Structure 1
């Protein structure tokens, strides 16, 4: 962040001119495993937000300057999310109020620079982020800025973590590079299409449950690393069964769409046979006859295997 400050100008801005991009927030309490700590952090942040809003209602101005990166014609807040949010909420209550906020404005930046600077700035003050949030925030910044080819040692220095953690991060970065393919990071203007491509490709290649993604749409470091290496991961929350069912249902839906319901059905009949799963799929010929189907073949592909007409 400091490398940009010498090029900044100081001014006062109308908060309504500013853009708060949720993806730039380092704060992500869903990453905090300890439920008590998570609740405590959320309560602290809520109290701070209320305090800022109360000051505004009492006629006290925002004194600490926010930092804004200008990308094209968009004024992104990279430091001062909660101060800006409180101002916008106050203006909803008093839309005619003459309210401005002091700001350091840094012109002619890229979205990547704004995103990276926001990750750094949001770890330094306010309600401090936890270690889990800080690591994930740095991981996001490495992905968005395209630093995919760092060695484990270089990753440890860049992120400030152990060699073990760096190995997980470096492994995840390489997988993200493959998933993004020829995506042009220099043309990045928002994260919607970026994270969509990342999620779609990684989900098709690895088993990535819903809980393996953070609230910004990025894969969680350890969950991605475990998926790449094929290690079984047991989620630490009570939603494990539901998430596994949803993930499997989604995967099966893709197979049905890809292979045609008739082909999928016959493959499923063969796959579940003898597994005692309580799943009964009638033979293809019997099903076609009952359904009066006009498409699909009545060929039984188990010509070299015993017939199980009622299975």
Structure 2
């Protein structure tokens, strides 16, 4: 095992507060900085140099890295995450006071419906496989157990909040995986900074909309404690679209979309949220942007397009 990873894990087990692991104050911030930030950042960026034989960035799947990031984030609570004064509960520690019964309780918030790409039935088995592969490479000590606490959010914002509160209050979860559906993710990730005494990190492959791209470095930020690991965002798709338009000297556009298209990816209004991000970036580029949601019961698309495009958006 890499000595730095071992140092990070051992420090987690020694004290959930991590006070002995925080050794430097930032000049412009009231919070402390931790050595583990550098470790986590390099793992996430794919630049970490593994010292364990046979273990490389390429040999670790994205889900394996997610589990390591989750473990690392648990170590940061006493350093920077406190957003309210709340006494810690005994169950928040990975190990009990005697140093035994070490367990990481991971709350998984996903819909129990295979109509969605990221469902409990699909994701839970993969998380468990990733856990086993990490154990096989001895990246975490064998005496630390993972307890997966699965909750069905039905891709609903209100239910997602209730499930998250149940997992934190009743089961004392220490880290959250999901939600993926954007509305549910927004509702849950706004309040995770107040869960437990030090806040609760939330890791997701979702959060593609523009709002999730904003700064998340202190308690005043809306989605503080949210870590997005997705490969692609609506901002990236928007940048690609704008670059193609610039290559062709196009500045006027109208976009047709199905309001609930791609619902299986991010829940309700996925395409609408994509258009929102695209429109914001195009207006920043002084481009003319118009959008038109297609009605599912309309059969004559040609007439619909002729009416909406008209002379304003057509090339004469």
Q: TM-score, normalised by structure 1?
A: 0.26
Q: TM-score, normalised by structure 2?
A: 0.25
Larger Rg: 1
